[in-house]
Amino acid sequence: MADETAEVLIAGGSMVGLAQALFLAQRGIRPLLVERHAEISAHPRAQAASPRTMELMRALGLEDAVRANENPHAQYGDILQAESLCGAELGRFDGPFPHDPHDVGTTGWTLIGQDRFEPVLRDRAQELGADLRFATELVGFEQDADGVTAELRDLGDGSRRTVRARYLVAADGFRAPVRESLGIGVHGQGVFGRQMNVVFHADLDPYVAGRAFFLCFVSNPQVKGVLGKLGGDGSDRWVLAPSLRPEDSHREYGSEECVALVRAAVGVPDLPVEVESSTSWEIAAWVADRFRSGRVLLAGDCAHVMPPTGGFGGNMGIQDAHNLAWKLALVLRGQAGPGLLDSYEQERAPVAEFTVDQGVIRYLQRSGLDEEAAARHRPETTVLFGHVHRSDAVLREDGPDDGSPVEDPTVPSGRPGTRAAHLLLRRDGTDVPLHDLLDGGFWLLAGPGGGGWEAAAATVRSATGLDLAFHRVGDEEPPEVAERFLKAYGVGYSGAALIRPDGVLAWRSPTLPAAPADELSSALARLLQRVA
């Protein structure tokens, strides 16, 4: 018999694992997360939270907390290119993180390092009841038809415990020991190169010389990499991310070598430098062959790795966790059949394939794109918001389907499987973005003539116990909002659209049918794979 039980065990306590714990806890599931490191990493790694990630943070009431921890130079946004920090300037260009969501989303990018973002996720997850155990290692696990039995080791005192969980989420990073133990392979272009992160302390203000920039790309015979400030005004804490040569891919750099790289990047041979820490990582592009093996589900870098250009990787992992959390919660509560979890891989694997490809294209832009790659390039707004989900958790409609993994979100179709288009709904006299309201349940939006859907939603809510909210667009909203809803969601005056907890359109009815409660109940039963 196991020493303890948990509904969900999460392996890995970096950004994706913490997000998974937070999203589950927000839905009333108390997960157990284990992380072998004793504390959150001091390295910034991922540098930005995308508009889609920030949309999820807004719905949790965390947008202000995240923005309060932004990079101290985030307001500058642009990037300096130079031989070294005090050497010849080679130019400036706009950063890769535009702030205008083009009326598609509710908010823009937040330029925040992973080291600043993770504590926000951790603190809120703990507030909501998640059990987070650092300095605790997943030693091994076995699964059967009913769950997973895992062995944990406390790295402080060496003691071991067994945990019985109904599901295991592997968020253990690109080295992916859980995935490898399952024998799940990967496919893709593989490793391009390797980079380091060197966190150091030095007084660089004299060499910044009052210039405003978010990052400084340096390039000279001694070092090619990126400099960025980690502390606020008056701080001497910086990070250098130098590229390594292929022949150095598996070599550890000592403190003296790190100091030499920093001095070369700044352009001051005798600069006083104190190295706080250093680490190295691979620049790679691949996707796991499977995202699920029985009771084990893969998320984040364990499931897909992409180049850092574009800031897609960590954000993709957070959205994996968000997609998975509501499905796990409904299955664990018995409100959905276990087959609902099959839709996680059905949806996230194609999204990963597409996004990894877009990350590779942006990485290759540095050396020029060939015609084939240039033809595959999609705007950031489409990469972030335009995914088309095809799975058993979407009631797809008859008609033409070009099979594209994305559509242009600035011209929404409203077809099931796409993200619900941005709307400002009137709630208690205040305009509130629709996606701010998506906090874990389903939403049924009806057109101005769809009053009959309200009673249908109440009937289904009472019969199933599902969290199902209703709103008739046009009751309080001005006519132009109702018109936008009808056009963007592709329904008629009395029609309705069903939105999943993750903001994806699951089903729509062009008009009000004779028995709307029956139609709605049938739709939910099919997409949730409910067993009668």
Mean pLDDT of 79-86: 92
- Does 342 lie in the same domain as 464? no
Mean pLDDT of 227-239: 81
- Does 156 lie in the same domain as 293? yes
**Which ranges constitute the DSSP H helices of 128-172?**
none
- Does 449 lie in the same domain as 324? no
Q: With a cut of 90, say whether residue 474 has pLDDT above it.
A: yes
Domain end point (choices 329, 362, 395): 362
Domain end point (choices 296, 329, 362): 362
Mean pLDDT of 105-115: 87
Q: Is residue 382 part of a domain?
A: no
Mean pLDDT of 334-341: 96
- Does 431 lie in the same domain as 324? no
Residue 318 identity (one-letter amino acid): I
- Does 438 lie in the same domain as 321? no
Mean pLDDT of 54-83: 87
Mean pLDDT of 370-381: 86
- Does 514 lie in the same domain as 437? yes
**Relative orientation angle of helices 15-26 and 313-332, to the nearest 10 degrees:** 30
**Which pLDDT does position 373 carry in this prediction?**
82
- Does 432 lie in the same domain as 312? no
Indicate the range of 58-67, 83-92, 236-245, 427-436 predicted with least confidence: 236-245
Q: Is residue 280 part of a domain?
A: no
Q: Is residue 248 part of a domain?
A: no
Question: Do the bridges between strand 430-433 and strand 424-427 make them parallel or antiparallel, or are there none, so unpaired?
Answer: antiparallel
CATH number at residue 485: 3.40.30.120
Q: Is residue 218 part of a domain?
A: no
**Which pLDDT does position 210 carry in this prediction?**
83
Residue 381 identity (one-letter amino acid): T
List, in sequence order, every beta strand (DSSP E) within 109-223: 131-134, 136-143, 148-154, 160-170, 186-201, 215-219
What range defines the domain where residue 491 resides? 420-528
Q: Which residues contact 162 (CB under 8 A, 6 or more apart)?
A: 2, 3, 4, 149, 150, 151, 152
- Does 441 lie in the same domain as 513? yes
- Does 44 lie in the same domain as 176? yes
**Which pLDDT does position 105 carry in this prediction?**
87
Q: Is residue 510 part of a domain?
A: yes
| Residue 257 parent element (H or E) | helix 255-266
- Does 341 lie in the same domain as 439? no
Domain end point (choices 313, 332, 362): 362
Quickly state the pLDDT bin for 366 (edges 50, 70, 90).
Answer: low
Count of structural domains, the chain: 2
**Which pLDDT does position 99 carry in this prediction?**
55
CATH number at residue 311: 3.50.50.60
- Does 140 lie in the same domain as 35? yes
Q: Is residue 92 part of a domain?
A: no
Q: Is residue 11 part of a domain?
A: yes
Buried b (16+ CB within 10 A) or exposed e, 417-451: bbbbbbbbbbeeeeeebbbbbbebbbbbbbbbbbe
Each residue of 304-330: pLDDT tens digit? 999 888 889 999 999 999 999 999 999
**Which pLDDT does position 122 carry in this prediction?**
98
Radius of gyration of the chain (CA): 24
The single residue listed with the structure tokens 């260009």 is: 93
- Does 490 lie in the same domain as 357? no
Rounded to 5°, angle at Cα 380 from 377 and 385: 115
Q: With a cut of 80, say whether residue 80 has pLDDT above it.
A: yes
Q: Is residue 264 part of a domain?
A: no
